């Protein structure tokens, strides 16, 4: 690997190449979901387990804020906590996911109490939060750049749910509708910070490894879910 600093264009190309190679849209479980092959039980299992990731996103972002000494970055990043936790004007992403669960026939209490949570999912998500707590804050921000690949995934997911899983109340799909646009805004925001503050060869390499790690987290979650529900 080169010891010099990458120019911005090369850096972006290397980050995008990681997603092209390792993003979880290529996982067999995700492919099956988008092709309409999941049973109601398997789909509910995915929704219930993915909720553990959703509810931990604000903890990850709070860890980044706690480690970041740059006021301008904190002022940009802080909205992400409210985007998920919600406030008086916006119920937030966690509430939207709970509504998805209810639309799938899952009582929200079962998600809040982690009744369906697989150990492998818990381990992967906890590892991601710990990564954000212990790594340099620009590297933790770079790890969130799986958002670069999320808008296209969300569009495909929304279309698949509307086509193949019509038994789900369409009002429960609002999370996906929102993320088709919000993920693009968030990824542009995170990419700009990454390009500005991962400004040494080592930080650039750590940023790339951080994004690879995040892809591994998402892939490992699906591994655990696939193992639990593949015969359903």
* pLDDT tens sequence across 40-63: 999 999 999 999 999 999 999 999
SS3 letters across 56-70: HHHHHHHHHHHHCCC
> Is the per-residue pLDDT at 2 higher than 60?
no
What span, in angstroms and rounded, lies between the C-alpha atoms of 94 and 84?
Answer: 5
What span, in angstroms and rounded, lies between the C-alpha atoms of 72 and 39?
Answer: 46
* Residue 3 pLDDT: 65
What span, in angstroms and rounded, lies between the C-alpha atoms of 211 and 110?
Answer: 31
CATH for the 8-229 domain, from 3.90.1150.10, 1.10.10.10, 3.40.50.1980, 1.20.910.10: 1.20.910.10
Could you give the angle at which helices 150-164 and 174-197 cross, rounded to 10 degrees?
170
pLDDT band at 93 (very low <50, low <70, confident <90, very high): very high
First to last CA, the chain: 44
Q: What is the mean pLDDT of the chain?
A: 95
Q: Considering Cα of 170, then 172, then 176, then 178, what sign does the dihedral take?
A: positive
pLDDT band at 88 (very low <50, low <70, confident <90, very high): confident
Find the mean pLDDT for residues 57-85.
Answer: 97
* pLDDT tens sequence across 123-164: 999 999 999 999 999 999 999 999 999 989 999 999 999 999
* Residue 180 pLDDT: 87
What residues does each domain of the chain span?
8-229
148 HSE (CA, 13 A, CB side): 24
**Nearest alpha carbon to residue 77 among 189, 197, 204, 203:** 189
Residue 226: strand, helix, or coil: helix
Find the mean pLDDT for residues 25-50.
Answer: 97
* Residue 1 pLDDT: 45
Q: Cβ(217)–Cβ(124) under 8 Å?
A: yes
Determine the number of helices (DSSP H) and then strands (DSSP E) in the chain.
12, 0
């Amino acid at each position: 690997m080169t010891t010099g600093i990458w120019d911005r264009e090369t850096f972006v190309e290397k980050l995008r190449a990681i997603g092209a190679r390792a993003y979880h849209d290529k996982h067999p479980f995700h492919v099956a979901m988008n092709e309409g092959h999941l049973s109601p039980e398997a789909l509910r299992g995915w929704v219930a387990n993915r909720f553990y990731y959703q509810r931990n996103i604000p903890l990850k972002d709070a860890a980044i804020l706690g480690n970041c000494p740059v006021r301008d970055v904190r002022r940009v990043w802080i909205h992400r906590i409210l985007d998920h936790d919600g406030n008086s004007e916006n119920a937030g992403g966690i509430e939207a996911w709970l509504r998805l669960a209810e639309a799938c026939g899952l009582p929200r209490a079962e998600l809040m109490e982690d009744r369906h949570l697989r150990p492998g999912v818990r381990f992967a998500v906890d590892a991601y939060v710990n990564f954000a707590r212990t790594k340099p804050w620009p590297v933790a921000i770079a790890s969130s750049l799986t958002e670069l690949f999320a808008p296209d995934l969300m569009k495909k997911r929304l279309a698949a749910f509307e086509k193949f899983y019509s038994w789900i109340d369409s009002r429960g799909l609002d999370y996906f509708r929102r993320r088709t646009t919000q993920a693009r805004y968030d990824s542009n925001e995170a990419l700009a910070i990454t390009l500005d503050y991962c400004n040494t060869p080592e930080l650039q390499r750590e940023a790339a490894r951080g994004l690879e790690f995040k892809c591994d987290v998402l892939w490992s979650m699906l591994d655990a879910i696939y193992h639990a529900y593949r015969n359903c």
